[in-house]
Chains A and B, each alone.
Chain A
Amino acid sequence: MTAPEIIFDDVSKFYGDVLGVNRVTLHIPPGITSLVGPNGSGKTTLMNLMVGIIRADRGALTVRGISPDHPEQLMRIVGYATQYDAAPRGMTGLEFVSMALMLHGFTQAEATRRAWAALDRVSLTDAAKRKVGAYSKGMRQRARLAQALAHDPDVLVLDEPLNGLDPLVRAETIAAFREYADQGRHVILSSHVLQEVDVFSDQVILIANGAIMAEGQIRSVREEMHEHPSQFILHCRDAARVASMLIGDAHVSEVKILDDGAGLLVMTRRRDDLAAALSRIAIAGIEIDGVIPADENVDALYEYLIGGGR
């Protein structure tokens, strides 16, 4: 049986004359998927399309087999923490979460119990009975996260979920995402903290100007980019000698000795050829202490694909 997916099939969305996303086709498997792109690139549009609060002008999409045209089914399995900061007037944090649960059909007692549990997960129980309007930005963020988590959905859609969280809560939240994803659920999130996304995402979707630039695991995306050389840092004692042995190889486009002289940066168009070259160097008796990929992070991909603007 195939895993349930989130499928975008040639989806386009325009806001009047302004492009939202253009002809997006995606198959998102369970796990943590990060949408990465600059402001206005279409990340929020993709998320809003997923939950049906905006409609595609063209194409079709389903979330685990359910169309956004059926919110009564879809929102039972989806929790969405939007970037919209406002909550209905006069609601406390507890009401904000429990009222949403009551719309799911939970009794008031059960909704309250679940709301406390969700608020506890985001460390917001102390402020649960204060008005959401009086919360700080970070607290509102956590309240939205609690609301998204409270009904234990199969798909978590989180727009910039780590903004405004303190380091401890951030670490706990990321751990919760991991736990969710490990249960075969979807966690779709967008973030500007690229290093974090890099670390905990199962796959990334790079988006710019409403178009998908790349998708997949960070490493595999990187490998598909043949036009950009891969970068490796070699840690070794005799950097100058290693550099002289590599510079003549056809697959090597550039070699730079690091400022501290304790290694060098090598750019290669063919990873396998570099591996063979390193074996040759080792056989020649030159010790290589470590080989570290220098551009298998989202920042580097981003720069290659989109052209430098993070």
Chain B
Amino acid sequence: MNISTELRQIGVIARLELRRAFLSKRSFWVYLLALFPAVIFFGHAIEVKVRQDRWSREGTVQPAVLDRLNRGMTYNEVIKAAGTPIRDFEWERRRRDEDDTVRMRHVLLFDGRRRSDLTFRNDLLESVHTRPLASLDEDRQVFAGVFQFFFLRVAVFFGCLGIFLNLFRGEMLDKTLHFWLLAPARREVLLLGKYLSGLVASSLIFVLGTVLCFAALLWANDPVEVQQYMNTAAGHELFRYLLATVLGCVGYGSVFLAAGLLVRNPIVPIVIVLFWESIIGFLPQMLQKLSVLYYLQSVCPVSAPVEEGTPALVRLLLSPAAPSSVWVAVLGLLGLTALVLYAASRVVRKIEIDYATD
């Protein structure tokens, strides 16, 4: 049998499997996982847009006015310069150690892009906190955190588990694996066809999730700032996120495909891989290279934010991998995947129909 026949068989197997990977009931929660961050980011963007729209209608101040606000100004001076505020709330405060009652006031001003929260004490401006309604830098940090801590470690991990673990195990449970084993194809061809279908399905689903999330991130922010970002780092960062997404599917896909061939109880591979991926920070550098996460973290363009004061142990759990260059990471992950798939091909050669025991 020649290579072109085998390639065609891989294509046929992948095509047949794709429909199932995309449309089966088992895939439903994979979509939920993939699209959940996008829903959150779009929710955030909509909130920003609604607030911006409402506040703009209620009255904006000149940006220069916000820049001129200083502590010590009186309430009347501020109102005279800024006009009617969007929010003006007054209350009285009395502390145990103070004899007199203090009159406090919170005033919110908006210049169309930035919001300024002013706090008055007895009509004197005590503090000014001015910040953009939406901050691209801040949102990028949040995106980096969500991408690394949720998207890669939870969504892609469990999504790939759902898709790839079932490529063989699901067929065994459905009692349909014989359909494939009776095809005039080498078992390795069957393995590759199924892997390819899982890879295409998971990559498309999670790439869609990443792109939607990124679009929501941009939509929420100031167009000028976004344009500037688009002209500089946006393309590069989006490419690296997409690369990490696809590589996540490549790596976790191979691991769970192999796991589906080896074990009947899915809890076992989940626990083992999750445990392994969690503890790699504590392992020697050599063993870290046997983790998918090790490579994925190196591909991510923005470091995930870890708050100051976070204990070293937790910091190591959150961000364990030693940085390596992107292309070393890509090649490393592909090498690891090839190794896992080779091991899986050894197993699939000996796979037998054993429906009765499942």
Contact = CB atoms under 8 A, between A and B. Distances in A.
A176 B12 CA distance: 30
Q: By CB atoms of chain B within 10 A, which of A54, A55, A73, A103 has the most?
A: A103
B54 interface: no
Interface stretch (A3-11, A26-34, A79-87, A119-127): A79-87
A90 B182 contact: no
Contact of A103 (B185, B355, B357): B185
A205 B350 CA distance: 28
A55 B350 contact: yes
B175 to A, nearest CB: 4
Contacts of B355: 84
A90 B352 contact: no
Q: By CB atoms of chain A within 10 A, which of B19, B20, B179, B185 has the most?
A: B179
Interface stretch (A45-53, A185-193, A195-203): A45-53
Interface string B226-252: 000000000000000000000000000
Contacts of B350: 55
A100 B183 contact: yes
A71 B353 contact: no
Interface residues of B, number: 32
Contact of B186 (A72, A80, A88): A72
Contact of A90 (B20, B171, B178, B353): B20
B175 A71 contact: no
B178 A89 contact: no
Contacts of A73: 1, 184
A103 B182 CA distance: 10
Nearest to A86: B175
A85 B176 CA distance: 8
A55 B171 CA distance: 19
B181 A71 contact: yes
Contacts, number: 81
B35 to A, nearest CB: 23
Interface in B167-220: 171, 174-176, 178-179, 181-187, 189
Contacts of B257: none
B23 interface: yes
A105 B182 contact: no
B9 A105 contact: yes
Interface in A281-300: none
Interface string A49-66: 001111100000000000
A103 B9 contact: yes
B16 interface: yes
B310 interface: no
A102 B179 contact: no
A89 B1 contact: no
B20 A72 contact: no
B135 to A, nearest CB: 47
A87 B184 contact: no
A75 B12 contact: no
A76 interface: yes
B8 interface: yes
B179 A87 contact: yes
A188 B20 CA distance: 33
A74 interface: yes
Contacts of A100: 179, 182-183
Contacts of A74: 184
A80 B182 contact: yes
10 contacts: A15-B356, A53-B352, A72-B189, A74-B184, A84-B176, A84-B178, A88-B179, A103-B13, A103-B185, A104-B183
Given A88-B16, A88-B176, 4 more contacts: A54-B352, A71-B186, A88-B20, A105-B8
Closest 7 pairs (CB-CB, A-B): A75-B184, A103-B183, A86-B175, A53-B353, A76-B184, A54-B352, A53-B181
Interface of B: 1, 5, 8-9, 12-13, 16, 19-20, 23-24, 171, 174-176, 178-179, 181-187, 189, 350, 352-357
Interface of A: 15, 48, 51-55, 71-76, 80, 82, 84-90, 99-100, 102-105
